[in-house]
Amino acid sequence: MPQSFLKRALSGFTPYTPGLQPPDGEGWTKLNTNESPWPPSPKVLAALHAAIGENLRLYPSPLAEPAREAIAREFGLTPDWVAMGNGGDELIAMCLRAFVGAGERVAFPTPSYPLYEPEALMYELTPIAHPLGEGWALPDSLAADEAPLKLVANPNSPTGTWYPRPVIEDLVRRSRGVVALDEAYVDFAPETRLDLLHEHANLLLLRTLSKSGALAGLRIGYALGHPDLIRALDVVKDSYNLDRLAIVAAVAAIEDRDYRRRLVEHVVNERDWLAESLAGAGFTVAPSAANFVFVRPPAPAGEVFEGLKARKVLVRHYDREPIAGWFRVTVGTREQHERLLSALQEVMA
Ligand SMILES: Cc1ncc(COP(=O)(O)O)c(C=O)c1O
C-alpha cells in the first residue's frame, strides 16, 4: 500500500479529469475538448515568431499590462476593469482564493463545468451543487443561495444551454456575494452580459482565448468586472501568471477582430449542420449556444464512444446521471464532421 502524502482534507478526492489529449500528429479527429477548428490567426503566429528571442530570459510583465490594455480597448473599458489568468481555469481558482473564506460555500449549478467542485474542495471550501431543472433551467435555489461566490457558465457546458438576460440579471440582483459568470463560450452565443457590468458591482465575467481565440495551447484567460473585484483577484494571483509569449499572443488575438468574427461564423454555421446531421442519424440533440453540441446517441453510448475511439474519433462521453448516455461533440471542420459521421455509421451498423 503506497504511503499518501496528500493532505487529509483530500483523502478520497477525485480530481477533475481533462479530456484526452493524444500526442500531436497521430491523425485523431479531436472533437472532445472544445478547441478551435481553425489555427490561431496568422497575425498571432507572426507576433509570436517575432517575440521569440533574447528577451525570453527576462520575466514578463507581472500584470500582463499590454494584454489588459488591449482587452480594455476592445470592450470600451479601462484596464482597471480587466484581470488576466493562465486560462479561464486559473481565473476560477483565483475567484475561490479571493472571495471565499475557509469552509465557506461555493454555489454552482449541476451539470456544469466539472472543474468547479474539485477546485473548491482543493481549497477546503464547501461546494454546493444546485441541480438544473427541466430543460436545464437554472434553479431558483441558486439565486437564493447566500454563498459568497457563485460560478455559472453561460452558455453552460456540457448542455450548451443559453440563459438570457432576465435570468442572469435576476441571479445577480438576488446574490449577496460575487457572481462569476463563466463566459468561456459566449462568442458563439447571442450576446454577452457586458451590458450588466456597470450596473452590478458583484458581477464578474470570466473569458478565455482558448475557444474563439484559437489559443488553448497558450493558456490565456481574462476577467472583466468592477475595479474592486479586479483588485481582489490581483491580490491572489501568481506573480507572473502569463508568460511573455502569452501576453504577445493575447494582444494580437484580441486585436484581430476580423479573424475571430470569421471563426465564430464558421463555428455557428457548422454547429447547425452538425446538429442536423446527428438528428438525421437518430441522435437526440439539445439546443446549443456554444462551440459544441450536446447529443444522445440512439444506441448504447459507451459502445458508440469506444467504437468511435477505435476509429480515432474522440468525443466527450458522460456516464453519470443526469447526463449518462450523452455526448458533447466539439464543432470542428466539415471534414472532421464527415469523418465523425462515417465512423458513426460503421459503429452503429
Ligand atoms: C465552462 C468552461 N469554463 C472555463 C473553461 C476554461 O478554459 P481555459 O482554461 O482553457 O481558458 C472551460 C474549458 O473548456 C470551460 O468549458
Q: How many structural domains comprise the chain?
A: 2
Is the pLDDT score of 4 beyond 90? no
Average pLDDT over residues 243-267: 98
Decide whether any atom of ligand 1 lies within 6 Å of the 34 Cβ: yes
Tell me the CATH number at 302: 3.90.1150.10
Q: Which three cell numbers stand for residue 196?
A: 450588466
CA distance 297 to 259: 34
Decide whether any atom of ligand 1 lies within 6 Å of the 85 Cβ: no
Decide whether any atom of ligand 1 lies within 6 Å of the 117 Cβ: no
CA distance 174 to 258: 37
pTM of the model: 0.97
For atom 5 of ligand 1, the residue with the nearest CA is 88
Among 236, 255, 274, the domain boundary falls at 255
% of the chain exceeding 70 in pLDDT: 100
Best mutation site among 115, 183, 292, 294 for ligand 1, i.e. most ligand atoms within 8 A of its Cβ? Answer: 115
Lowest mean pLDDT among 22-26, 79-83, 321-325: 22-26
In a domain, 97, yes or no: yes
Q: Say whether both 155 and 171 belong to one domain.
A: yes
In a domain, 15, yes or no: no
Contact (Cβ atoms closer than 8 angstroms) between residue 305 and residue 315: yes
- Give the pLDDT of residue 1: 64
Contact (Cβ atoms closer than 8 angstroms) between residue 90 and residue 221: yes
In a domain, 5, yes or no: no
Is the pLDDT score of 183 beyond 90? yes
In a domain, 218, yes or no: yes
Decide whether any atom of ligand 1 lies within 6 Å of the 156 Cβ: no
Residue whose grid cell is 463555428: 267
Q: Say whether both 55 and 74 belong to one domain.
A: yes
Average pLDDT over residues 282-309: 97
CA distance 323 to 316: 12
Cα–ligand 1 centroid distance for 183 (angstroms): 9
Among 223, 255, 287, the domain boundary falls at 255
Closest atom of ligand 1 relative to the 92 alpha carbon: 4
Q: Say whether both 104 and 223 belong to one domain.
A: yes
- Give the pLDDT of residue 3: 80
In a domain, 32, yes or no: yes
In a domain, 163, yes or no: yes
- Give the pLDDT of residue 2: 73
Q: Say whether both 232 and 291 belong to one domain.
A: no
CA distance 14 to 19: 15
Q: Say whether both 112 and 182 belong to one domain.
A: yes
Q: Say whether both 212 and 262 belong to one domain.
A: no
Closest atom of ligand 1 relative to the 33 alpha carbon: 14
Q: Say whether both 68 and 202 belong to one domain.
A: yes
Decide whether any atom of ligand 1 lies within 6 Å of the 183 Cβ: no
Q: Say whether both 250 and 270 belong to one domain.
A: no
Average pLDDT over residues 73-100: 98
Is the pLDDT score of 220 beyond 80? yes
Tell me the CATH number at 112: 3.40.640.10
Cα–ligand 1 centroid distance for 216 (angstroms): 9
Q: Which three cell numbers stand for residue 183?
A: 463566459
Contact (Cβ atoms closer than 8 angstroms) between residue 230 and residue 180: no
Closest atom of ligand 1 relative to the 153 alpha carbon: 1
Provide the domain limits for residue 95.
Answer: 42-255
Q: Can you name the residues that pair with 221 across neighbouring β-strands?
A: 85, 208
Best mutation site among 162, 182, 292, 316 for ligand 1, i.e. most ligand atoms within 8 A of its Cβ? Answer: 182
CA distance 294 to 296: 7
For 91, other C-beta atoms within 10 Å of its C-beta total 27
| Mean pLDDT across the chain | 97
Tens digits of residue pLDDT in 17-56: 888 899 998 999 999 999 999 999 999 999 999 999 999 9
Residue whose grid cell is 447571442: 190
